[in-house]
Amino acid sequence: MLKNKLLLCLAICAVSVSMAAQAEQKITVFAAASLTNAIQEIAAEYEKEKAVSIQTSFAASSTLAKQIEQGAPADIFMSADTRWMGYLQERGLIDPGSRTNLLGNQLVLIAPRGKAFKVEMDRKFNFGAAFSGRLCTGETESVPIGIYAKQALKNLAWWDAIKMRLVGTQDVRAALVFVERGECAAGIVYETDARVSAKVETVATFPEASHDPVIYPLALVKGASPQAAAFYHYMKGDKAKAVFTRYGFNRFC
């Protein structure tokens, strides 16, 4: 009887240790909102292959960087620009040796489906008169898509005519939703965001020279686990590359 009780206790302990070990296999990824669909798909496939759980958090890169600075338990960070990755690196919060420019993207002008308008990407074009209503993009001082959008609008000499009609949102997906609903007559988002929505259409692509290159740096957050490092390398591999490419991202490394 005593022997049976001992065996039962050992079995329960073994199960508890196993469950604890599995619980430790959680990887937390903080990534720019524009990466939502691609990383969710990549994470789901990786979870099928490995005995790990991947938790994702998507928002503006600025928001995520500030959360990491405040102690949020992230293992991997992927930003939509180099500025916010640099912000964390300057504060010693990422592993600098792991930092790599993984992906690129394009900046596009969108409208609700069926309500496109003519645009010429030229400084002489009267952009303010091309449509009525508001223009949505990310907040232009902190959110990467908004920063890129402001650069493009200024370089095309359109900023002064449109700035009072601009709606700055918390991230690029919020801007996309405003255009989908018709609450904004136009929006500036990434090409990959326009491609995942059946409710908008691309009016034009901004010239690459009109704004800084859209670069997505990837890095491990300081203190990341070996399991997180393994997924970080998976995100740089061929299987993940195929997913990113299908969603329209360009590859840098």
Among 9-18, 135-144, 157-166, 239-248, name the one with the lowest average pLDDT: 9-18
Is it the case that residue 24 has pLDDT exceeding 90? Answer: no
Give ∠ CA 233-234-240 in degrees, rounded to 5: 130
Q: Do both 55 and 69 map to the same domain?
A: yes
Tens of pLDDT, residues 169-180? 999 999 999 999
Q: Do both 150 and 74 map to the same domain?
A: no
Q: Do both 95 and 113 map to the same domain?
A: no
For residues 75 and 70, what is the distance between their CA atoms, to the nearest angstrom?
14
Q: Do both 10 and 62 map to the same domain?
A: yes
Domain count, the chain: 2
Percentage of the residues of the chain whose pLDDT score is greater than 90? 89
Is there a domain that residue 211 lies in? Answer: no
Other Cβ atoms within 10 Å of 93 Cβ, number: 18
Q: Which of 69, 78, 67 is nearest to 31 (CA)?
A: 78
Is it the case that residue 10 has pLDDT exceeding 70? Answer: no
Q: Do both 129 and 49 map to the same domain?
A: no
Is it the case that residue 80 has pLDDT exceeding 80? Answer: yes
Q: Do both 93 and 114 map to the same domain?
A: no
Q: Indicate which CATH number applies to the domain containing 99.
A: 3.40.190.10
Collapse the DSSP code of 157 into the 3-class scheme (helix H, G, I; strand E, B; otherwise coil) and give the result: coil
Range of the domain at 79: 2-104+216-251
Q: Are the C-beta atoms of residues 99 and 85 closer than 8 Å to each other?
A: yes
Tens of pLDDT, residues 98-129? 999 999 999 999 999 999 999 999 999 999 99
Distance from CA of residue 220 to its chain's centroid? 15
DSSP output for 121-132: -STTS-GGGS--
Average pLDDT, the chain: 92
Q: Do both 88 and 114 map to the same domain?
A: no
DSSP output for 182-219: TSSSEEEEEHHHHHT-SSEEEEEE--GGGS--EEEEEE
| Backbone torsions φ then ψ of 207, nearest 5 degrees | -60, 140
pLDDT at 25: 77
Q: Do both 144 and 84 map to the same domain?
A: no
Q: Which of 159, 164, 158, 196 is nearest to 180 (CA)?
A: 196
Kindly give, in sequence order, each residue whose CB lies less than 8 Å from that of residue 59, ignoring residues fewer than 6 positions away: 30, 32, 33, 67, 170, 171
| Backbone torsions φ then ψ of 114, nearest 5 degrees | 85, 0
